[in-house]
Chains A and B, each alone.
Chain A
Amino acid sequence: MRQTTSHKLWLIAPAALMVGIFFLYPLCFSLYSAITLDGSLTLTHLDKAFDLYSKDILFTIIIVLISVAILAILSITIAALITLSPFRSLTKTLGFLYRLPLFIPFIVTAQMMRTFLAKNGLMNNAFVASGLLTPMDTVSFLGWSGIIITFVWKQLAFSTLLISGAMAALDESQIRAARNLGASRLRILLQIILPQIIPTLGVAIVLSIVTMMSVLSVPLMIGTGSPTMMTADMAFRINSYGDYHVANALGLVSYCICAGLAWFYLRQNLKEKGAN
């Protein structure tokens, strides 16, 4: 028995070593580099990062929170329509539609939006042609609103897939019972379905936040100007100054933001488990 166990560890070793050497080691190195100077602990890099980029850090947090809020509302609406709507043909169309961006890469999305949302892009042209806007009123959406639109457009398929999956897995008899007792569809959604899918919603949100915090192409291609997202600042810091300390300090801040949000989610989750 012991022999087979050690055998199995050997099977895992190559994969574990790869993650260890090429992910965990650089990860620890980045943390180390963020808080040390010539081998001694220091806060100068973090201070400098906050001095130079506090606006961008705030901008990143706000962008991510707004995107996630819109994502949550939209995915819940779509998933709820698929689960509760009595019109089969509509739900089928919707089920096909929302999956469309699932495997479209971020960089392709960024390129689409870069031309679509520009001042003279297809979107504004369509508004002008339909008489909704005059050419003088058009504004470019490249900037903070463009970043949010791109994030939501790309992540919508993923979060809706998770949430509608969770809704489909619910016990259907509960919904039927509630309907028989005369509950409206909105009430069923808010009081019966939502409370049960909160864990999945949390997973979708945390994963989306981590994704948004690590995408570089979108802020580079759509977020023209200042303030911009922290990922663009890190790339700039490295490519223009070779300044790994401040870049890593910014990385540390982004870990902390993600960790903070994940902790918030876990705490909520634990609280609910405790209440039950």
Chain B
Amino acid sequence: MNARAEILDRIRSALRDAPAVPEVPRDYRRSAEHGQEELIELLTDRLLDYKANVFVEDAAAVPQRLAALLEGTVRYAVPHGLDQALFAAADVHDGGPARRVTDAPGHRLGVGELDAVDAVVTGSAVAVAETGTIILDAGPDQGRRVISLVPDRHICLVRAGDITAILPEALRRLDGTRPQTWISGPSATSDIELERVEGVHGPRTLDVVIVRE
């Protein structure tokens, strides 16, 4: 018998008492009522707790904010689907678009190139205020998983309308089969005497720009 058949056989045999399949009680919270300002406040609080940097901006002010955050970077990466207009101020500020590299289908940034940039700017799919979690699902404004991983600094845009209060609400907005990265603060470890250290292998700095629409 091959391994597959044998294992399934063993399992069926183990279950010969035919245990009942219980009804799953789903009386935990599956949605929560919160106003948008409340959600922004809660998400901000959680992200600060994780030692992320948080900026809340009106949509019109985002290019200025990005320019300020990107000041001093020699080169930064963006996914092709992120609105180019967002970088108008940043690029003018430093004299030319050469410092912005775009990851696009047919023009993929290599790992070496990503390792050499100072920062990456991406959008996000949905956020969970209660847990301070930002979820990326590789949409065009977020790009491949690798681009938000290799650069040492991740600047992430979160639309206020994409913030949910609790996790079940967020999952209902997502397609589970897309590659996803859930981010709650920058990379961290507590492996040495339980002292928390931010930044091991993932980006050591996480800047979150919450965009009011």
Same assembly: no
